[in-house]
Chains A and B, each alone.
Chain A
């Protein structure tokens, strides 16, 4: 069983489109995250949710809107996609609110904006 699963794995879309990435974790964790990995492999946190409540929003453009319908799901919706949004997006989860235990990562969604 996959602990943190994201869909889709690959996403190719045109500039200006709106797209969503879904994430689900079956670990019973309280906190979920979205990270962005650029072409140089640098990983940067975007958002974190604890029990459906937004905890961290790291100066991400308003075009990015996370939504957590329940604590096992955290989706990422992106409006008006730009070329610079091309990256690999990782969902992750951890137990507790304060990041005192390791985060488990999904396999990533490679987004390519053309």
Chain B
């Protein structure tokens, strides 16, 4: 499953499939980006980050891609599991603060 465009509030994905969550950021001066996961009733949890001198970074089951030319960030989750159901936020750092995009709600279908 994939969210497309500037923002899609929800993404439904079959368990075991790969998920792609997209994010357009606003500030061309942003030099640090983070993906957060927020489960119901909890605070945002760090997933993975990437600095502006990189275009790809991999973690455990997650990959973040950065395209500075079009100011686009994506999070890929491999083999999506039920525990991946949450709201996902991209955040960009500029002017010494972290600004969050509108979240994408990911629902994993069994």
Q: Which residues of A approach B to under 8 Å, CB–CB?
A: 4, 33, 35, 40-45, 48, 55-56, 58, 90, 92, 97-100, 102-108
Contact = CB atoms under 8 A, between A and B. Distances in A.
- Minimum-distance CB pairs A-B, first 6: A105-B43, A43-B100, A102-B46, A105-B44, A41-B103, A99-B93
B98 interface: yes
Contacts of B103: 41-43
Given A105-B43, A108-B43, A44 B97 contact: no
B42 A41 contact: no
Given A102-B49, A105-B45, A106-B43, A40 B102 contact: yes
Interface residues of B, number: 21
B21 interface: no
Nearest to B103: A41
Contacts of A98: 96
Nearest to A42: B102
A42 B40 CA distance: 14
A100 B98 CA distance: 10
